[in-house]
Amino acid sequence: MSLLEIQRLSLSIGDTPILRDVELSVAPSEVMGLVGESGSGKSITALTVMRLLPWAARATGRVVFDGIDILAASEDQMCALRGDDIGMVFQEPMTALNPVKTIGEQVAEGIRWHTRASRADAEDRARKMLDRVGLPSAKFPLSRYPHELSGGQRQRVVIAIACALKPKLLIADEPTTALDVVLQAQILDLLRDLVAENRMGLLLISHDLAVVTEMADRITILRHGEVMEAGDTARTLSEQLHPYTRQLAQASMHVPARARAHEVGQDNPQLQAANPLLQVAKPLLQVESLTRDYPGRRKSLLKRAAPIRAVVDVSFSIDPGQSVALVGRSGCGKSTLARMVLALDGPTSGTIRFRDQVITGKSEAELKPARRDMQVVFQDPYGSFDPRQKVEKLVAEPLHVLGKKPTNAERREMVAKALHEVGLSPRDMDKYPHEFSGGQRQRLSIARAIITRPKLVVADEPVSALDVSIRAQILDLFAELNQKLGVAYLFITHDLTVARAITDQVMVMHDGKIVERGRTSDVLDHPQSEPAKALVTAAPDLHRAIARRLQEQG
């Protein structure tokens, strides 16, 4: 008997159809993976089960949970189900908790509401639940506030809230997408254990095929609000019968074709000597014993707080045209390091040399030439454009660092060229950012980055907000521009598949220090340091996950 049975579920918001004839079921102690790209209707499906839909949504079909017809249930019935028999975990742990209530209050609230337990009893149960999710009372008393916890810890609190009353069904909507790989692995382990302990059904929603493959017994693949394929995870992904399933799987494992001339030269001194072209390579960027301290939080009026050391004595260099990944867990200092490389933040000590010029401690005017040769691509293609400006102006933004101001015609010419290079049409120049999709917008930010013909592009998680198929295209674009323009990259990412796909070298950062550096394939296949090993072990890998599933099933 299924715990949750969704039959022919169709849903529209206003006149826009969102779901069409969705079928899905979850059995007790089963993990069902719901996979799809953004806008495919995964979250709306989950919210339908919770009946927490937007006001204007209209659903038809049948959703039966434990014998209760969800679509026909009264609001009171739904309130009794939510938080008691059905728990839900959301994507963004940083904002999922009420900032003005303690974690104890927030976990105990649902318990008190549903069981009418006394405050003391409810707090007792909340305490046990927090212990269970890995937040022991010594370090995490009930009186802690959410802002005193990290993202991973907050997600544990959210899981404690959702599982406090041992629900029959847990819905987890991208529960680990905002976390780094090590935390992701921990949270997934926790979810797996909770499923096993309580015979709980888990509906795991994710865009990440590898995560779902590791977790789910069966998967349902959703696209544009319709189920493309559903079935046993291992079989579905190993056979890849449906073209869309194959497309998704291939995109997840995509590696852009790159000629690795640079690497060959570096690894082979004889070849380097023989080829004068490779010999001229003086480092493009040289970072020498860079340190950045932030003032710590003051505990008393009299004592000065110890500084927080974000980056500690970091040295490295990047050659022209080289593509280097900077990987590490969240909070390890990689973004601080990137900000200093871009001269957006000054170091506490140490120097950065770019094209043989020291750029640390320089004024804005002195930095102008360096800025021209150094550009940046950010993670969020939605947030990094002014919505009221046309593409021409947005892409032309960095041109003000040029020595000579281009004429209007020259400017349009340059923008057209940059757009062409990133695979957009020069005609797109007169559009506004909202007229583009997420992937196209990331192309726009790449166009903006290359318009000044930079020698170095710093890319901060440039593909982590994108769907797998779009991500593959953008990675291809990065690879192509690397070849064509000879631009060097510093890729900041916590996603090892990205590092593997597109970089020659990897630097592993941990607690503000670079603990390992080497050829990408060497570091990722044979990590030496503990932090690197932890990252590699935790990273979900589709090949490995499928192989393991098949092996388990014989």
Partner 1 sequence: MTVYLLKRLAIALITLVLASMVVFAVLEIIPGDPARLMLGLNASADQVELLRNQMGLNAPLALRYLHWAGGLLSLDFGRSYTYSVPVIDLVRERVVVSLPLALIALALSTIIAIPVGLFSAGRHGRAGDTIAMGAAQLGVAVPNFWFALMLIYLFAVWLRLVPSGGFPGWSAGVWPALKSLILPAIALALPQAAILARVTRSALIEVLNEDYIRTARAKGLPFRAVLWRHALRNAMIPVLTILGLQFAFLLAGTIIIENVFYLPGLGRLVFQAITQRDLIVVESVVMLLVAAVIAVNLLVDLSYAVVDPRLRSRQ
**Sign of the torsion angle spanned by Cα atoms 336, 341, 342, 345:** positive
Q: Which of 16, 98, 118, 349 binds partner 1 (CB under 8 A)?
A: 98
Q: Which of 426, 428, 438 is nearest to 469 (CA)?
A: 438
Tell me whether strands 374-377 and 505-510 are parallel, antiparallel or unpaired. unpaired
The least CB distance from residue 162 to partner 1, in Å, is 7
| β-bridge partners, 492 | 326, 460
Does residue 65 interact with partner 1 by CB under 8 A? no
**Sign of the torsion angle spanned by Cα atoms 501, 506, 508, 509:** negative
DSSP 82: B
Q: Which of 126, 161, 377, 539 binds partner 1 (CB under 8 A)?
A: 161
When the beta carbons of 10 and 177 are compared against partner 1, the nearer one is 177
Q: Which of 4, 162, 183, 285 binds partner 1 (CB under 8 A)?
A: 162
When the beta carbons of 282 and 298 are compared against partner 1, the nearer one is 298
Total chain residues near partner 1 (CB under 8 A)? 35
Beta-sheet strands, E only, within 274-348: 285-294, 308-318, 323-328
Does residue 110 interact with partner 1 by CB under 8 A? yes
When the beta carbons of 110 and 350 are compared against partner 1, the nearer one is 110
When the beta carbons of 173 and 504 are compared against partner 1, the nearer one is 173
Q: Considering only 86-94, 188-196, 342-350, 383-391, which stretch makes contact with partner 1 by CB under 8 A?
A: 86-94
Within 25-64, which residues bind partner 1 (CB under 8 A)? Answer: 50, 52
Q: Which residue has the tokens 């169709």?
A: 10
When the beta carbons of 47 and 547 are compared against partner 1, the nearer one is 47
Does residue 84 interact with partner 1 by CB under 8 A? yes
The least CB distance from residue 73 to partner 1, in Å, is 13
Tell me whether strands 4-13 and 16-26 are parallel, antiparallel or unpaired. antiparallel
Contact 256, 476 (CB under 8 A): yes
When the beta carbons of 6 and 96 are compared against partner 1, the nearer one is 96
Contact 371, 344 (CB under 8 A): no
Q: How far apart are the first and last CA of the chain?
A: 26
The least CB distance from residue 295 to partner 1, in Å, is 11
> Can you give 526-537 as a three-state secondary structure string?
CCCCHHHHHHHH
Does residue 380 interact with partner 1 by CB under 8 A? no
Q: Considering only 74-82, 275-283, 332-340, 363-371, which stretch makes contact with partner 1 by CB under 8 A?
A: 74-82
> Can you give 164-227 as a three-state secondary structure string?
CCCCCEEEEECCCCCCCHHHHHHHHHHHHHHHHHHCCEEEEEECCHHHHHHHCCEEEEEECCEE
Three-class DSSP category at 431: coil
Q: Which of 81, 163, 278, 492 binds partner 1 (CB under 8 A)?
A: 81
Three-class DSSP category at 333: coil
When the beta carbons of 148 and 530 are compared against partner 1, the nearer one is 148
When the beta carbons of 120 and 301 are compared against partner 1, the nearer one is 301
- Which run of H or E residues covers position 548? helix 542-553
Q: Considering only 264-272, 297-305, 334-342, 537-545, which stretch makes contact with partner 1 by CB under 8 A?
A: 297-305
CA 12, CA 60: separation in Å to the nearest integer?
Answer: 9
Q: Which of 403, 488, 398 is nearest to 445 (CA)?
A: 398
Residues written for the chain: 554
Q: Which of 1, 15, 74, 75 binds partner 1 (CB under 8 A)?
A: 75
**CA angle, residues 150, 155, 157, in degrees to nearest 5:** 95
When the beta carbons of 114 and 500 are compared against partner 1, the nearer one is 114
Does residue 95 interact with partner 1 by CB under 8 A? yes
Q: Considering only 5-13, 71-79, 373-381, 382-390, which stretch makes contact with partner 1 by CB under 8 A?
A: 71-79
When the beta carbons of 298 and 393 are compared against partner 1, the nearer one is 298
Does residue 80 interact with partner 1 by CB under 8 A? yes
Does residue 100 interact with partner 1 by CB under 8 A? yes
When the beta carbons of 34 and 96 are compared against partner 1, the nearer one is 96
The least CB distance from residue 51 to partner 1, in Å, is 10
Q: Which of 262, 283, 280 is nearest to 354 (CA)?
A: 283
When the beta carbons of 164 and 449 are compared against partner 1, the nearer one is 164
Q: Which two tokens stand for residue 87?
A: 């728990």
Cβ neighbors of 248 (< 8 A, separation 6 or more) are 35, 37, 209, 221, 468, 469
The least CB distance from residue 99 to partner 1, in Å, is 6
Q: Considering only 83-91, 265-273, 363-371, 385-393, which stretch makes contact with partner 1 by CB under 8 A?
A: 83-91
Residues lying near partner 1 in the complex (CB under 8 A) are found at 50, 52, 75-76, 79-84, 87-88, 90, 92, 95-101, 106, 109-110, 113-114, 145, 147-148, 158, 161-162, 297-298, 301
